[in-house]
Chains A and B, each alone.
Chain A
Amino acid sequence: MHPKQKLAIYAIGFVVVFGFLLMGVLTAAKVWFPPPLQLSLQPPGQQPRNAGFWRQLQRIFKAHPKKIRYRRSSKRKVRRVRRGSGGGVPRTVRSRQHLAYRETVLGYFIQSNSYTNNPAEALRQAQRSKLTGPWREYELIRLRTRILAYQFDENKDRSLLPTYKKAAVQAVESPFANFEDYFWAGHVYLYTKDPRNAQKYFDLAHDNWPARDSFYGYIYFFQMCLNAVNGRGENLLKQFDDFQAVFPDWLYVEIYVTELNELQKLYPDAALLWFLRGQIFQMVLNDANALEAFQTALRSGKLDRSMTAAATIQIDRIKQRQ
């Protein structure tokens, strides 16, 4: 055999053998040396340097998915709202007549509510309106859903839940259903222990919500809670990174921690809800509550390996701070 032919065999052998070895090394590194957990709240001294060019390289080839999500969900749709004449119409109505009917119904409701505090009476009066259209039935269901939702939200009375659920499902099944109805459907499914449907409707609401307002923040918050309920710790940590940017009232924990209290009663097995609680209290530097929440999460023994590590690290940080 000519030496050059031998070289061809050696070369092919080199490429094949070392190629497999290289891929083996990469796979072994992936299995045995996974990347450390990137916790959402890092003390100022431990923040990673922004000088890493591999991270910037990634930005060339992989645009960050979060950017796309925000662009799709909010920016474009806000731009599409009509300005000038014809502007100012809510995006949940189909026509001027539809809007007029809604205003009538709301007017009756406000008038009667102040005296009777009876939504049924308001609805009965609203049905006397002469305005008709295919949206008439939907508007009544919608108003009923909102009333029940606000009543439930005020005192968390679980006896309201069957009625509330029926109304919310009717609203969602209507051809006039919009992003607000998706939100309330997700809300009622979450509180009736149906996380799968809740996830579906919160995702729909998230994708269709037209602006980055307070309600959008609540969608995000409930999605975090759902991740905690479903045991998806990694997703929870990722979402918590943007919590302050998305949720305008993040500083006022007492406003939204009531939701967490209720959910913890409903889902006592979800240890990640305790973890989320700890993250939230640590965010506002309430070390005592955060420590208690993290320790409860750890004591439950239901956290997976990575989340146990995360909780332990957070506890260490709190203790160092103290």
Chain B
Amino acid sequence: MNHRLQTFRLGPSRHGLNMALRLGLLLMLGAPLLLAAAPVGGSREVEPLTWIENLFLVLQSIWEIAKTLFRLSDLLLSCWSGLLIFIWLVATKYKERRPDYPMLAMFLAGGVICSFFALFFNMELSTTTRFNFFEATSRFDSFMAFFIGAGIGEEFWKMSAGLIVVVLALGLGRNLGDAGRILGFVVVGLSFAVMENIISYAPRHGLFDMLQRGLLATPLHAIMGMIHGWAVNRSIRRQSPLPLLSGYALAVIFHTLYDTIFLLVDAGLEQLGAHEVWPDLMMHIPHALLVGPIVFFLLRWAHRYWRTVPEGDPSTAELDAAADWI
């Protein structure tokens, strides 16, 4: 039988996978409810909230998300580059076999769910500590917010989501292969970026912001996913946890660097005395000039690396050789 057809056969033997997919979908729908029902900060003596008001908050948040999703232009602006990157990765690699789409759907669900975790973590960080992202009292606090929230936090959530799906795939006996794992982590990063665009940026920001997100931020998330996948594959070959740590550290460094460059732009403009008169729209230009080369350099590395990744798993002989070498 053609193995391409086997990939899509979801019979009784795939019961576990079916259940996991349903659970993922349930969590995806449930996460916003849990978030919205979370207690609001502050004393209840001044601002009491009854259960009916909490229910109102839940309904309101669902309505807000639904409104954003149904606004077609926002949706397109949020996910066009993610789709392009995914298509490019699949088209340039898979010549002999087909990607494991059910597992990729799991990675997608993982990315969506972890984006809510990251959202909650970042909200906690910016409201209950002094490390606010854009409204901190000093640039150092702002930097720490980006380091903890965006760097350490977001990269952890993404990598954890990907790793959990990888472990799930092992339990289900799915053979992802080197390229499959990397593609999975990239899908986690892309779905995270798309959710971030949909929830945080599309409802409030304009066309230029969204274009910049599509051209710079979404590829950056994809590259971070590729670094995660690279680390996991390396960990399998070396049979050591250290590559996981180094991959995580690299992703944290690049993500923090990307996010804090706007602080440098801000500080530079202040030194030049142009801080008050510089139009907001023009902020894109120095930011893109500084961030663009970093993203370009990483994209070049990602392109070269992706060409060398084998489609399937390493053979036993290859693994033995690697173990001997270590």
Instruction: List B contacts of A22 (CB < 8 A).
Output: 121, 152-153, 156
Q: Are A15 and B160 in contact (CB under 8 A)?
A: yes
Q: Are B127 and A35 in contact (CB under 8 A)?
A: yes
B165 to nearest A CB, angstroms? 10
The A interface is mostly helix, strand or loop, or mixed, namely: helix
Instruction: List A contacts of B167 (CB < 8 A).
Output: 7-8, 11-12
Q: Are B125 and A10 in contact (CB under 8 A)?
A: no
Give how many A-B residue pairs fall within 8 Å (CB-CB): 147
Q: Are A60 and B128 in contact (CB under 8 A)?
A: no
Q: Are B235 and A10 in contact (CB under 8 A)?
A: yes
B43 part of interface (Cβ distance < 8 Å): yes
A247 to nearest B CB, angstroms? 16
Q: Are A52 and B61 in contact (CB under 8 A)?
A: no
B229 to nearest A CB, angstroms? 12
Among B46, B131, B199, find the residue whose CB has the most chain A CB atoms closer than 10 A: B46
Instruction: List B contacts of A25 (CB < 8 A).
Output: 148, 152
How many residues of chain B are within 8 Å of chain A by beta carbon?
66
Contact A54:B133 (CB < 8 A) given known A10-B244, A63-B60:
yes
Q: Are B232 and A26 in contact (CB under 8 A)?
A: no
Q: Are A53 and B164 in contact (CB under 8 A)?
A: no
The complex places the Cα of A36 from the Cα of B131 at a distance, in Å, of 10
A49 part of interface (Cβ distance < 8 Å): yes
A68 part of interface (Cβ distance < 8 Å): yes
Q: Chain B 132-152 against A: per-residue CB contact (8 Å), 1 yes, 0 no?
A: 111101000100000010001
Q: Are B46 and A235 in contact (CB under 8 A)?
A: yes
The complex places the Cα of A66 from the Cα of B46 at a distance, in Å, of 9
Q: Chain B 14-49 against A: per-residue CB contact (8 Å), 1 yes, 0 no?
A: 000000000000000000100110101011011101
The complex places the Cα of A57 from the Cα of B153 at a distance, in Å, of 18
Q: Are A18 and B119 in contact (CB under 8 A)?
A: no
Instruction: List A contacts of B164 (CB < 8 A).
Output: 11, 15
A88 part of interface (Cβ distance < 8 Å): no
Q: Are B244 and A11 in contact (CB under 8 A)?
A: yes
Segment with Cβ contacts to A, from B69-77, B97-105, B201-209: B201-209
Contact A35:B133 (CB < 8 A) given known A3-B237, A65-B40:
no
Instruction: List B contacts of A30 (CB < 8 A).
Output: 128-129
Q: Are B241 and A52 in contact (CB under 8 A)?
A: no
Q: Are A29 and B125 in contact (CB under 8 A)?
A: yes
The B interface is mostly helix, strand or loop, or mixed, namely: helix
Q: Chain A 55-71 against B: per-residue CB contact (8 Å), 1 yes, 0 no?
A: 11110111101101100
Q: Are A57 and B199 in contact (CB under 8 A)?
A: yes
Chain A positions 66-92 with a Cβ under 8 Å from a chain B Cβ: 66, 68-69
A234 part of interface (Cβ distance < 8 Å): yes
The complex places the Cα of A25 from the Cα of B144 at a distance, in Å, of 11
Instruction: List A contacts of B135 (CB < 8 A).
Output: 48-49, 52, 55
Q: Are B170 and A14 in contact (CB under 8 A)?
A: no
Q: Are B235 and A7 in contact (CB under 8 A)?
A: yes
Q: Are B42 and A232 in contact (CB under 8 A)?
A: no
The complex places the Cα of A48 from the Cα of B137 at a distance, in Å, of 9
Instruction: List B contacts of A62 (CB < 8 A).
Output: 36, 38, 40, 57
Q: Are A52 and B134 in contact (CB under 8 A)?
A: yes
The complex places the Cα of A52 from the Cα of B60 at a distance, in Å, of 21
Q: Chain A 176-211 against B: per-residue CB contact (8 Å), 1 yes, 0 no?
A: 000000000000000000000000000000000000
Q: Chain B 224-262 against A: per-residue CB contact (8 Å), 1 yes, 0 no?
A: 000000001001110101001100100000000000000
B306 to nearest A CB, angstroms? 21
Q: Are A69 and B47 in contact (CB under 8 A)?
A: yes
Smallest CB gap from A58: residue in B: B123
A162 part of interface (Cβ distance < 8 Å): no
The complex places the Cα of A53 from the Cα of B123 at a distance, in Å, of 11
Contact A239:B46 (CB < 8 A) given known A30-B129, A55-B135, A62-B36:
yes
B64 part of interface (Cβ distance < 8 Å): yes
Contact A7:B129 (CB < 8 A) given known A15-B164, A19-B156:
no
Q: Chain B 210-234 against A: per-residue CB contact (8 Å), 1 yes, 0 no?
A: 0000000000000000000000100
The complex places the Cα of A4 from the Cα of B131 at a distance, in Å, of 39
A107 part of interface (Cβ distance < 8 Å): no
The complex places the Cα of A238 from the Cα of B41 at a distance, in Å, of 12
> 7 A-B Cβ contacts within 8 A?
A7-B167, A7-B235, A7-B236, A53-B134, A57-B123, A62-B40, A238-B46
| Beyond A12-B163, A55-B135, 18 additional pairs, beta carbon < 8 A | A3-B239, A7-B170, A7-B236, A10-B244, A11-B166, A11-B167, A12-B167, A13-B241, A18-B248, A26-B129, A29-B129, A30-B129, A52-B134, A52-B135, A53-B134, A54-B133, A56-B204, A235-B45
Q: Which chain A residues have a beta carbon within 8 Å of chain B's beta carbons?
A: 3-8, 10-15, 18-19, 22, 25-26, 29-30, 33-36, 48-49, 51-58, 60-63, 65-66, 68-69, 227, 232, 234-235, 238-239
